[in-house]
């Protein structure tokens, strides 16, 4: 598909044409940051393996497809049901995006308490542009991340969640991004903002799911600001199609005594990367950054995390479990940085991968960078195969081999899933893992009995 | 399952087994009738666990000669789960920990897998709980141990009792107990022995691998075999265990030399 002499032109070319239809087209400050973003992206180009933290994930294939922006029509693609993660969405707030467009008919406002604003980015830009201006791009750090720059230029969808001080939302908020229902390769660029004021609490479940057969590229950026003593549970399932590329960048600020709990479950996507940077800025800030990836075929999944301890007595706990079958590939890069001020830091990181096939591969790079003297930090990465003794043990009790293997995979991933504090979500994610397994024989209600 | 009285429960003929090119069993013969309890004793590394694994069908052992016949059927090439369904049970010397899988879930899946294989209906949750309640009480197994992940954080003795519980639930025709008495305190030993004795029946046979004749005070064997250097070197009655306790295995060293 032709002209790829200068690397990122695919997206840059489409910028001018897409611009008038993008949300907030009439806001001059937004025009400026979009302009700056595309310029910067043009200068940087798509990340290449020459960059230190892109050594193991190649985006070359993105250049070979001429992705087109999505249209309102794409957003109206026929859809008979919304794949909900949580049982009975009844009164639970839910936002649904189809091919990158908000679908109002699937929107459930739910019983949100007052002091909570949940809407799509387009509405936020129209309703409260000053607030959006204050937050957009505030947490994305310097401008070295090309994918963030590209998103800033092209952001055409996404949501904003704002929770006022002290407001506690009991119900998990579900946000569904459905891709793949187009007949041509499309790209969409969700930009999400989650801002919790002091003492607020929320649980957000983000579900990226591919339903059709079309190739698509989702480039998402999420900025999260967690105020003093606030708590955010941020759960994500990435279940894209085998033809999808999913690149996600998350930036999180955690204030004094605030908590950020994240779990990213990756179970589908030809090429995916979940990059998360967490800044523990205030004393006593905590982060639980966990995930699991289950890949097969020739899928590639990259989890890259940076947790930066900037204040005393901050803690982090990070557990990633990977299961790789066939020729699939995964990357885990986990960096914990402890700045000089962050005395009394407690950090723990673990990445374990289970290889189900000799063709599968993992590149794991755990890293500690410590500048403070009084810290407790540990990290580790292991790679192994199904334990033959355990397999024999199960089979010797009459459990058929395929079922025994599933059980061991389930057991392996379970250690990470256990980190999910929200019980409904933990069950929903366990179900997702069970469905990933070949011909799973175990019924989830039994697992729940555990 | 056919249970003709005349049929041997287990007939092992001239069994040769190698692991990674090293021959461990070197022409082993063993014959067990229905209803019999046999003890196998022998020095460390003589191949007792190897024999038990091979009967249960573990991969990784090369059978270079001989045959294992279970109730008239040659076990060669049969998957472990099929052997289990046909009534073979092995209580492991080192029970395996399976994190994240509740003990009850494991037992129920195992039992129902075997029942499915036999064309019997699966037990529902109520029936299963009822059956378990009786068995756990007999073996002094707490509800907590059932809820916990399989063998995870169990003490040595708890793991062994859990093996006997599995045996009681799965109700095998041929049970092999590989050092189920090791690591048990005297009270636990009595409980386990009672559990085993309860399962004695004219249709069920047992192979008890042990280093201690003490166990045989509680579980009285019909025969005692000495396995050394890959073969059954001697077979006798209960008194052979007492003799071994006194003299050790020196005699069999010479026999092999
Ligand atoms: N996978 C293996 N690879 C190599 N050697 C093995 C393997 N498994 C067993 N062996 C060897 O086979 C021999 C018999 O081992 P086995 O475990 O059967 O002995 P045992 O009689 O059960 O001993 P113990 O009384 O200590 O339990 C030992 O020398 C052991 O080292
Ligand atoms: Mg042994």
Query: CA-CA distance, A334 to A292, in Å (whole number)?
Result: 14
Query: CA-CA distance, A112 to A84, in Å (whole number)?
Result: 19
Tell me how far the alpha carbon of residue A303 is from its chain's centroid.
9
Query: CA-CA distance, A446 to A86, in Å (whole number)?
Result: 18
Q: Which atom of ligand 1 is nearest to the CA of B51?
A: 18
- CA-nearest of A414, A55, A59 to A263 is A414
ipTM above 0.90, yes or no: yes
In terms of CA atoms, which chain A residue is nearest residue B147?
A450
| Ligand 1 environment, Cβ below 6 A | B 19-20, 22, 24, 42, 44-50, 93
Query: In Å, how far are A68, A77, A209 from A268, measured between CA atoms?
Result: 22, 21, 8
B interface residues, A as partner, C-beta within 8 Å: 53, 56-60, 79-81, 83-85, 89-90, 92, 95-96, 98-102, 104-106, 108-111, 113-114, 117, 147, 149, 166, 170
∠ CA A245-A136-A309, rounded to 5°:
80
What is the residue extent of each domain of chain A?
10-281, 387-450
CATH number 3.40.50.300 is the correct assignment for the domain at B35-44+79-256: yes
For atom 31 of ligand 1, the residue with the nearest CA is B45
Query: CA-CA distance, A212 to A229, in Å (whole number)?
Result: 42
Set of chain B residues whose Cβ sits within 8 Å of the Cβ of A394: 98, 106, 110
> In angstroms, how far apart are the furthest CA atoms of chain B?
59
Tokens of B86: 């046909």
Q: Is A107 helix (H, G, I), strand (E, B) or coil?
A: coil
In terms of CA atoms, which chain B residue is nearest residue A446?
B105
- CA-nearest of A316, A314, A272 to A297 is A272
- Judge whether A394 is closer than 8 Å to chain B, CB to CB: yes
Query: CA-CA distance, B173 to B203, in Å (whole number)?
Result: 7
Pocket test for ligand 1, best of B50, B92, B93, B230 (most atoms within 8 A of CB): B50
Determine the distance separating the centroid of ligand 1 and the alpha carbon of B75, expressed in angstroms.
22
- Judge whether A50 is closer than 8 Å to chain B, CB to CB: no
- Report pTM: 0.91
User: Each residue's pLDDT tens digit in chain A (450 positions)?
Assistant: 334 444 445 677 777 888 888 999 999 999 999 999 999 999 999 999 999 999 999 998 888 888 888 888 999 898 888 888 887 767 789 999 999 999 999 999 998 999 999 999 999 999 999 999 999 999 998 889 999 999 999 999 999 999 999 999 999 999 999 999 998 999 999 999 999 999 999 999 999 999 988 889 999 999 999 999 999 999 999 999 999 999 999 999 999 999 999 999 999 999 999 999 999 999 999 999 999 999 999 999 999 999 999 999 999 999 999 999 999 999 999 999 999 999 999 999 999 999 999 999 999 999 999 999 999 999 999 999 999 999 999 999 999 999 999 999 999 999 999 999 999 999 999 999 999 998 744 444 443 333
Residues contacting B248, CB < 8 A, separation 6+ = none
């Amino acid at each position: 598909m032709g002209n790829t002499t200068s690397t990122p032109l695919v997206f840059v070319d489409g910028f001018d044409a897409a611009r008038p239809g993008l949300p907030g087209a009439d806001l001059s400050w937004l025009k400026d940051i979009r302009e700056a973003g595309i310029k910067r992206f043009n200068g940087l180009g798509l990340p290449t393996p020459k960059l230190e933290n892109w050594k193991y994930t190649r985006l070359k294939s993105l250049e070979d497809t001429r992705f087109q922006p999505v249209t309102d029509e794409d957003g109206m693609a026929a859809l008979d049901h919304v794949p909900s993660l949580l049982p009975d969405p009844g009164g639970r707030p839910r936002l649904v995006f189809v091919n990158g467009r908000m679908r109002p008919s699937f929107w459930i406002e739910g019983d949100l308490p007052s002091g909570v604003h949940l809407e799509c980015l387009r509405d936020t830009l129209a309703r409260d542009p000053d607030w959006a201006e204050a937050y957009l791009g505030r947490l994305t750090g310097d401008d070295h991340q090309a994918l963030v720059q590209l998103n800033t230029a092209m952001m055409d969808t996404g949501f904003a969640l704002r929770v006022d001080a002290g407001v506690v939302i009991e119900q998990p908020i579900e946000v569904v991004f459905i891709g793949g229902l187009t007949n041509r390769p499309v790209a969409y660029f969700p930009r999400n903002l989650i801002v919790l004021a002091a003492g607020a609490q929320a649980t957000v479940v983000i579900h990226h799911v591919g339903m059709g057969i079309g190739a698509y590229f989702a480039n998402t950026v999420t900025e999260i600001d967690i105020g003093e003593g606030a708590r955010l549970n941020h759960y994500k399932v990435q279940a894209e199609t085998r033809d999808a590329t999913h690149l996600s960048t998350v930036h999180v600020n955690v204030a004094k005594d605030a908590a950020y709990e994240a779990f990213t479950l990756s179970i589908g996507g030809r090429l995916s990367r979940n990059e998360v940077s967490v800044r523990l800025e205030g004393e006593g800030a905590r982060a639980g950054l966990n995930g699991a990836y289950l890949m097969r075929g020739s899928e590639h999944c990259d989890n890259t995390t940076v947790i930066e301890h900037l204040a005393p007595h901050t803690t982090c706990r990070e557990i990633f479990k990977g299961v790789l079958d066939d020729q699939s590939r995964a990357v885990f890069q986990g960096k914990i940085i402890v700045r000089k001020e962050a005395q009394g830091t407690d950090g723990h990181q673990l990445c374990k991968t289970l290889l189900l096939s000799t063709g599968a591969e993992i590149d794991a790079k755990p890293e500690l960078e410590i500048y403070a003297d009084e810290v407790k930090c540990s990290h580790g990465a292991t790679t192994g195969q199904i334990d033959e003794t355990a397999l024999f043990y199960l089979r010797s009790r009459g459990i058929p081999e395929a079922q025994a293997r599933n059980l061991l995979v389930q057991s392996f991933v379970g250690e990470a899933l256990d980190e999910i504090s929200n019980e409904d979500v933990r069950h929903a994610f366990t179900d997702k893992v069970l469905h990933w397994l070949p011909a799973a024989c175990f019924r989830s209600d039994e697992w729940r009995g555990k | 399952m056919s249970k003709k009285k005349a049929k041997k429960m287990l007939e092992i003929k001239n069994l040769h087994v190698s692991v990674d090119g090293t021959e461990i069993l070197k022409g082993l013969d063993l014959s067990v009738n229905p209803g019999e309890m046999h003890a196998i004793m022998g020095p460390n590394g003589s191949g007792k666990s190897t024999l038990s694994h091979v009967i249960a069908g573990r991969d990784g052992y090369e059978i270079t000669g001989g045959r294992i016949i279970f109730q008239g059927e040659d076990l060669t090439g049969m998957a472990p789960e099929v052997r289990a369904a046909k009534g073979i049970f092995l209580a492991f010397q080192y029970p395996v920990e399976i994190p994240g899988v509740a003990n009850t879930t494991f037992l129920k899946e195992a039992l129902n897998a075997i029942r499915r294989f036999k064309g019997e209906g699966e037990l529902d949750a109520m029936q299963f709980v009822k059956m378990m309640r009786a068995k756990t009480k007999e073996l002094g197994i707490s509800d907590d141990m059932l809820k916990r992940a399989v063998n995870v954080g169990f003490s040595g003795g708890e793991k062994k009792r859990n093996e006997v519980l599995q045996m009681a639930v799965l109700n095998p025709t041929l049970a092999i107990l590989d050092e189920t008495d090791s690591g048990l305190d005297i009270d636990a030993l009595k409980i386990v022995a009672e559990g085993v004795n309860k399962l004695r029946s004219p249709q069920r046979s047992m192979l008890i691998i042990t280093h201690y004749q003490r166990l045989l005070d509680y579980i009285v064997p019909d025969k005692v075999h000495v396995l050394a250097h890959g073969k059954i070197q001697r077979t006798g009655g209960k008194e052979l265990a007492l003799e071994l306790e006194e003299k050790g295995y020196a005699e069999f060293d010479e026999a092999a030399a």
